[in-house]
Amino acid sequence: MATVSQSAVDVRDLRRVYRMGSEDVHALAGVSFAVPRGGFWAIMGPSGSGKSTLLNLLGCLDRPSSGAYFLDGQDVSQLDDTRLSDMRLKYLGFIFQSFNLLPQLTVEENIALPLYYLGWDPHESARRARELAGLVGLQSRLRHRPRELSGGQQQRVAIARSLANDPVFLLADEPTGNLDSHTGEEIMRLLTELNEQGKTIIMVTHEPDIAAHATHRLFMRDGLVERTEGGQ
């Protein structure tokens, strides 16, 4: 893999074309930006502007039609599915709107799950999971199952899980979308604290109040970056 950029994320003229019958949909029509390590960026834009397509590419869930994507300096734009899934496991942390916890697992087991897939020693991963539960304020809930937790607590578990592999960046997709506004603010405070401790965060949201917590905002329109706020 080529290595050039030292940003957490560096995308250059990224394009993604979907073939719909005889028509090409240019979901991303040439997007370039870089998120430095330690950055906290919100990706915004109206429905259909290309946010999900961009998120899928940044999350190594899809490959661009053309353009380059450097993840922590490694060009991942042409990797096959196996190598992409390897990148996700080793370098990324995902936070979803619907938390995506496994209902049959405890809090501790949910947090440790990425470490299980990474082949960690069970005692070591349990120790790390407890440490991360403490970091998100859930040290007294280790044996609980997701259904025994509030929505805000479930999202805290998901945030702890996203940190387990010490990822290059956290990718959050509408992280407060299923929460009331007070709980959403608490989750944003937690993300802000993590960012202040040095964690790089990229978050997709359509809510300006939520995006205001990020240090930078990138506005998409018609598959292009319309403008950025907070400097480039």
Residues binding ligand ADP (CB under 6 A): 18, 20, 25, 27, 45, 47-53
| Residue 156 vs 216, nearer CB to ligand ADP | 216
CB of 109 to ligand ADP, least distance (A): 32
CB of 53 to ligand ADP, least distance (A): 3
Q: Residue 166 — φ and ψ, nearest 5°? A: 50, 60
Tokens (6 digits) for 187? 């989750």
- How far apart CA 166 and CA 128 sit, in angstroms, is 11
| Residue 45 vs 184, nearer CB to ligand ADP | 45
CB of 28 to ligand ADP, least distance (A): 8
| Residue 45 vs 114, nearer CB to ligand ADP | 45
Token pair 């959050």 in the structure block, residue = 172
| Residue 27 vs 35, nearer CB to ligand ADP | 27
| Residue 16 vs 128, nearer CB to ligand ADP | 16
DSSP for the chain, please give it.
--B---SSEEEEEEEEEEEETTEEEEEEEEEEEEE-TT-EEEEE--TTSSHHHHHHHHTTSS--SEEEEEETTEE-TT--HHHHHHHHHHHEEEE-TT----TTS-HHHHHHHHHHHTT--HHHHHHHHHHHHHHTT-GGGTT--GGGS-HHHHHHHHHHHHHTT--SEEEEESTTTTS-HHHHHHHHHHHHHHHHTT-EEEEE-S-HHHHTTSSEEEEEETTEEEEEES--
CB of 23 to ligand ADP, least distance (A): 9
CB of 222 to ligand ADP, least distance (A): 9
| Residue 107 vs 172, nearer CB to ligand ADP | 172
Contact (Cβ atoms closer than 8 angstroms) between residue 105 and residue 145: yes
CB of 174 to ligand ADP, least distance (A): 10
